[in-house]
A and B are shown apart, each in its own frame.
Chain A
Amino acid sequence: MPENKDYFVEDLIKSSESILKDLEEIDEKDGLIPDPVEEKIKLDKQKEEINSIDIISGLRTDGYVDVCVSTDEMTATCNFYPPSEGEGFSGSEEGRPIELESVEKILETKGIVTGINWDAVNSAIFKCNTERVPINDVVVAKGRQPKDEIPAHLEIDRGLLENSKKLDMDRQRIDYREISPFILVKKGDILAHVVSKVPGALGETVTEKSIPYKTAKIKVLKPGKNVTLKDGYAIAACDGRFILGEETFAVSEVLEVRGDVDYHTGNINFPGDVVIYGTVKYGFKVKAGGSVYCQQTLDASEVICGGDLTVNYGVIGKNKGVVKVKGNITTKFIENCYMEAGGNINVSTSILNSVVHSLKEVVLGEKGIIVGGKIFAANGVEAAQVGTRVGPKTEIHCGIDFSVQQKLEWIRDKNIELALKLRQTDIKIKSTESEELKAKLSQVRDKLMAGIHKLNLASASLVNYLDKNEDAMVKVRRNVFPGVYIEICHISYIVACEMHACMFKLDKKSGRVVIENIKS
């Protein structure tokens, strides 16, 4: 039976002999190590270092930590290396685990004192020790960035800026003419609020070095025209357009449109005056609380204003244009348009096929002509020519407040509707034999009669407000042509033959329109 070898003892003996052999050449008296031995020592050391990676599995290695601080010293990161595991058979021993105290010591040595994340440290230690895996790049400390100083300033109300160009996406159809780039405000609206000064705060590196703060670069806006400061708010001092400039913000009572009123601008609805440097394009609307100045033309558009209207070129209505103005209208020409003015209407060249109403006078320029359409002017009309030889017929009505006239016409229409219903009711009452139905119809009849009576009272009262101007006259400096219809204070006159330089006026005695010659 072969002898059982004890491999452990054999190995021990062999290795011991090898070590002892190395010692043979050492002189024990003077401690000198001969060159070959020294060379061997060096080689052994090199070998040890080269094989250091294997030592961890072969020999006992304690857990340890590397620390790295960023160049700006704002972060510190650690790599955690686990201790070696013990392996009984090969003889390696279990290394000591990383301890919190050792990490504290390393951090302190590196001067890391600020912003340490102990939770991250503890968690990395635990994971590294228990799972025996290296944990790298763990941010264990972070510096504190400085906080900028914010100077006191005015901040524009966010809602104000968002309110421009607004689309109602819920609507099935979007009228892009209703979208306006202008921000309109009312008197008393809050435009901005005061933001108080926010002091700056110093920063700190992980090594406890302080970092100075800066002053934040903020656009400091100053309140401009028509803006008042009250209780920490900037408030609009009048209705108008909000204007945000580079250094100031203001409210302008005048809206300037640098081009046409079209899809770029949308319809205009402005509380103050509006200045348009282009044309009001087909289908667009301009509504102004004040006056409107248009440098070019109104092209089949709708213009309503509380002041005067001045159109540098002219008004092209295309039978769709509507102009309603509380003050005066001044333009070069008007064609195929409906127009109302509380003041005078001054037209330099022509009024063609238009319905024009004025509570004062309609005056045309030196060669101004009126052809076709209807002119209603409370105080009279003056033109160079009215009508043409073959053209469309022209009507001129003077001496009456057209607004009252319009109300009377509305009453008339309603009255006729009621009277027709009454007629039908009467026929039904006559034809029916049912007493019950007759009673019902009689009730309806009474109500219809009451309605007619009410309207009649209103019209009888309104007639007093017609503001008849019996002195109103139609002055024609050159020619008036046959077929022109002239009515002054409800008295009619139809021009029968071409006349030159004449004036039509009401003869109060005879109650007729008479003609007088004037100097042409």
Chain B
Amino acid sequence: MKKLLIIDDEPMIVDVAKVIFKDLGHDVDGSTDPVAGEELAKSKDYDLILIDLRMPIRNGAQVAEGILKAKPEAKVLIITAYPTDPLAKQAMDAGAKALLKKPFEIGKIIEFLKD
């Protein structure tokens, strides 16, 4: 069982991800508030953190930067509709591993949870 955190301002996405990944046997936390989510990621250890790129108040690149600054070894994946979004580049530069196409890519997440 792996520990997974999803930070997305859309509650529906967080709920759906929780249902699916819990069913896959993982422990899933979710946050619709980017600030609270970032704090959660810093305070707990997660095997994989999924962060939506476009969020109000604090965007996904900033959240990723904050988390990776505190925990450089954290495995962060960025959820975005457009991989060519400049913010995606910022998140990647901060140390995110990969981009996930919205709403998320199950295959990719399973792969990262395996590694």
**What is the interface of chain A, defined by CB distance below 8 A to chain B?**
393-395, 404-405, 408-409, 411-412, 415-416, 419-420, 422-423, 449, 452-453, 456, 459-460, 462-463, 466, 483-485, 487, 490-494, 496, 511-512
Assess whether A466 is in contact with B111, with CB atoms less than 8 Å apart.
yes
8 nearest A-B pairs in the assembled complex, by CB-CB distance: A393-B84, A408-B107, A419-B16, A485-B83, A494-B89, A492-B98, A419-B19, A492-B99
B92 on the interface (CB 8 Å rule)? Answer: yes
Partner of A452, one of B15, B19, B96, B112: B19
Residues A452 and B23 in contact, CB atoms below 8 Å apart: yes
Chain A min CB distance to B107 (Å)? 4
B16 touches A492 (CB 8 A): no
Main secondary structure of the interface of B (DSSP, over half): helix
Q: What are 11 A-B pairs at a CB distance below 8 A?
A: A395-B84, A404-B107, A411-B106, A416-B103, A419-B16, A449-B23, A460-B24, A463-B114, A487-B83, A487-B98, A494-B92
B35 to chain A, nearest CB (A): 24
Given contacts A466-B111, A491-B97, 4 further A-B contacts (CB under 8 A): A405-B107, A459-B106, A460-B24, A492-B99
Closest B residue, CB atoms, query A482: B89
Contacts of B15 in A (CB 8 A): 419, 423
Counting CB contacts under 8 A, is B105 at the interface? Answer: yes
A415 close to B99 (CB less than 8 A):
no
B36 interface residue per 8 A CB criterion: no
Nearest CB in chain A: distance from B78 CB, A: 8
CA distance A519 to B53 in the complex (A): 37
B111 contacts A492, CB within 8 Å? no
User: Given contacts A453-B23, A456-B20, A485-B83, are A420 and B106 in contact (CB under 8 A)?
Assistant: no
**In the bound complex, do residue A492 and residue B92 qualify as a contact, i.e. CB atoms below 8 Å apart?**
yes
A494/B83 in contact, CB under 8 A: yes
B88 interfacial by beta-carbon distance below 8 Å:
yes
B70 at the interface (CB under 8 A from A): no
**Residues in chain B near residue A459, CB distance under 8 A:** 106-107, 110
A405's nearest neighbour on chain B, judged by CB, is B107
Compute how far the CA of A491 lies from the CA of B88 in the bound complex, rounded to whole angstroms: 13
Dominant secondary structure at the A interface: helix
Which residues of chain B have C-beta atoms less than 8 A from A490's C-beta? 98, 108, 111-112
Interface band, chain B: 20 to 34
B12 within 8 A of A: yes
Give the docked Cα–Cα distance between A311 and B34 (Å): 51
- Residues of B in contact with A (beta carbons under 8 Å apart): 12, 15-16, 19-20, 23-24, 82-84, 88-89, 92-93, 96-99, 103-108, 110-112, 114-115
The answer for the CA separation of A449 and B111 in the assembled complex, in Å, is 23
**A512 / chain B contacts, CB cutoff of 8 Å:** 97
Residues of chain B within 8 A (CB-CB) of A394 are: 84
Looking at B23, B93, B104, the one whose CB has the most chain A CB atoms below 10 A away is B23
Q: Please indicate the chain A residues that have their CB under 8 angstroms from the CB of B97 in the complex.
A: 491-492, 511-512
Q: Are B20 and A460 in contact (CB under 8 A)?
A: no
A23→B89 CA distance, assembly (Å): 153
Give the residue name and chain of the A residue nearest to B112 (CB): A490
A405 contacts across to B, CB distance below 8 A: 107
Q: A492 vs B112: C-alpha distance in the bound complex, in angstroms?
A: 13
For the complex, give the distance between the alpha carbons of A516 and B110 in Å.
29
B92 in contact with A493 (CB, 8 Å):
yes
| Distance in Å: Cβ of B85 to nearest Cβ of chain A | 9
Q: Is the CB of B12 within 8 A of A423?
A: yes
Instruction: Please measure, in the bound complex, the distance between the C-alpha atom of A254 and the C-alpha atom of B96, giving whole angstroms.
Output: 53
| Residue of A393, A408, A422 touching B19 (CB-CB under 8 A) | A422
Partner of B105, one of A412, A419, A460: A412
Asked if A511 and B110 sit within 8 Å, CB to CB, the answer is no
Would you call B84 and A494 a contact (CB within 8 A)?
yes
Complex contacts, A415 vs chain B, CB 8 Å: 16, 20, 106
How many angstroms from the CA of A408 to the CA of B100 in the assembled complex? Answer: 13
A300 to chain B, nearest CB (A): 26
Residues A463 and B111 in contact, CB atoms below 8 Å apart: yes
Contact A412 B104 (CB under 8 A): yes
Complexed CA–CA distance, A420 and B10 (Å): 13
Contact present for A463 and B19 (CB under 8 Å): no
- Measured CB to CB, the closest approach of chain B to A81, in angstroms, equals 108
CB neighbours (8 Å) of B96 from chain A are: 492
